[in-house]
């Protein structure tokens, strides 16, 4: 009986993406689009503060990225923080330290979401997943981004 209850409590959720959006659609649906290098990675444990034992609710990754170019987004500093899942079914993007990426991200909505352990300027904190167009740097992708942005300004 105890095993059944334990299994029911720990629901398994799998990542389910509906397909990759076109560049135009992705730019329109994200808060920011930028290119940068991953400088650091940190695993963040988020606790269930309603539980008397404060058990770990979930784990996310926090990546520190040095910005090279910004295509969408305002007042972004030269260093930003990217939050994502850890992978394995939670849609987390697996960034590698030292690699250059194109990030399509949304502003992190709550600065204190990690149990007040960190306070981050909302304009420098983003969330992305494998369901967005976030990817290793590709010059062809950048050409398409520039082409779309040039058309949308006219």
Predicted confidence (pLDDT) per residue in 52-104, tens digit = 666 666 788 999 999 999 999 876 789 999 999 887 788 899 999 999 999 99
Domain hosting 128: range is: 18-153
What does the alpha-carbon distance between residue 39 and residue 20 come to, in Å, rounded to a whole number?
Answer: 27
Residue 83 lies in a domain: yes
| Total domain count, the chain | 1
Is 91 in contact with 129 (CB distance < 8 Å)? Answer: yes
Residue with tokens 């990546």: 63
- Residues 17/22/25/30 CA torsion (nearest 10 deg): 60
What does the alpha-carbon distance between residue 70 and residue 100 come to, in Å, rounded to a whole number?
Answer: 13
pTM over 0.75: yes
Q: Could you tell me the CATH number of the domain that includes residue 111?
A: 2.40.50.120
Residue 9 lies in a domain: no
Percent over 70 (pLDDT), the chain: 73
Phi–psi pair at 26, nearest 5 degrees: -65, -40
Percent over 90 (pLDDT), the chain: 50
């Amino acid at each position: 009986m105890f095993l059944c209850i334990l299994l029911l409590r720990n629901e398994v959720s799998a990542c389910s993406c509906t397909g990759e959006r076109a560049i135009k659609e992705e730019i329109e649906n994200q808060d920011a689009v930028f290119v940068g290098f991953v400088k650091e990675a940190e695993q963040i444990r988020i606790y269930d503060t309603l539980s008397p034992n404060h058990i770990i609710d979930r784990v996310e990754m926090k990546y520190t990225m040095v910005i090279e170019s910004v295509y969408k987004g305002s007042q972004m500093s030269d260093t930003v923080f990217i939050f994502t899942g850890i992978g394995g079914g939670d849609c987390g993007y697996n960034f590698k330290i030292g690699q250059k990426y194109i990030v399509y991200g949304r502003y992190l909505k709550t600065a204190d979401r990690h149990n007040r352990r960190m306070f981050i300027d909302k304009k420098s904190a983003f969330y992305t997943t494998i369901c967005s167009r976030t990817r290793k740097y590709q010059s062809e992708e950048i050409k398409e981004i520039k082409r779309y942005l040039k058309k949308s300004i006219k």
